[in-house]
Structure 1
């Protein structure tokens, strides 16, 4: 596990299941539940969720961690998890030069402190220097101004799937596809 510091919080990286423990897993689950139930677009479309909803998805992320293909980046303020994301490379030879960022989350209680931006900058660094990736992809839900956040960090919108996400009857949202060249 590696660590970097930014302002009052610290960034950590897990590159294998051995880099995780029960405290980390519990904190990840609690953050995921809080972010989702606050309306965050973090992998579960329809709140409310609880830890039992998120646990199988987190287990799959943890089990798949590997230095070359899958990293978990976390942000901590003291002993509290305040954000996290999952960075993954596709192992297929035709697409092994790019990775995808999943489940970008900043805990609702600490938004606006630069934690999400720091996590994304750290993902950029890890992807380029440690994983040897040339570009990153991500998909965001329209209607939450997420594309503006990512654009400020250098990401470009490369397409949309109109009405791809149905949050509720009559609430269809575009899925916005974004790219960052490393």
Structure 2
């Protein structure tokens, strides 16, 4: 079964709990989504609250993928660029597919839904993201059409002695 995607779903307790659980599960499975395992929902909650503020201010949009049971299975945050000279592209953050659904093509489905959502936004011509080097996720994004446009060596410190590159990628939208 494919995921069902919704842009800007109502933020209710079920969505909150679903996103927090997804974020923890992805992080604890080694996903590079802003945390290092082990992490708890309570440790992620402050970041979720920051994202909620961005959503309520209209600076960020939330795309959610629901599985056949209606559970939150994937997410991506699309953030408008706040610089007046860069409003023609958006940032993509916290791209996640639940570990139990990986290997089913849902990551590609999520990235296609992100591109479709971005195309629906007035004046948006490209999507920009950053990812953690050493995880292989840059190869996945490249397979979805993103091009590496920058790299800062050792910019992400995962642990003492474990520094990773911060890779910037861009997808121009036709």
**Alignment match of 2:40 (pick from 21, 41, 50):** 50
CA-to-partner distance for each residue in 1:162-182, whole Å, 9 max, x for gaps? 011111222111111101101
Give the whole-Å Cα distance in 1 for the aligned partners of 2:172 and 2:56.
23
Number of equivalenced pairs:
172
Give the whole-Å Cα distance in 2 for the aligned partners of 1:12 and 1:151.
24
| 2:52 pairs with 1:62 | yes
For the aligned residue pairs, the C-alpha RMSD in angstroms reads: 1.6
Partner of 2:110: 119
Report if aligned partners of 1:158, 1:178 keep a CA contact under 8 Å in 2: yes
Runs of 4+ with deviation above 6 angstroms: none
Unaligned ranges ≥5, structure 1 = 1-6
Partner of 2:7: 13
For residue 65 of structure 1, give the secondary structure of its aligned residue in structure 2.
Answer: helix
Report matched runs for 1:66-81 at 5 Å: 69-77=59-67, 78-81=69-72
TM-score normalized by structure 2? Answer: 0.92
Partner of 1:158: 149
TM-score normalized by structure 1? Answer: 0.88
Report if aligned partners of 1:69, 1:131 keep a CA contact under 8 Å in 2: no
Report if aligned partners of 2:119, 2:125 keep a CA contact under 8 Å in 1: yes
Unaligned ranges ≥5, structure 2 = none
CA-to-partner distance for each residue in 1:139-164, whole Å, 9 max, x for gaps? 11111111110111110001110011
**Alignment match of 2:18 (pick from 12, 27, 39):** 27
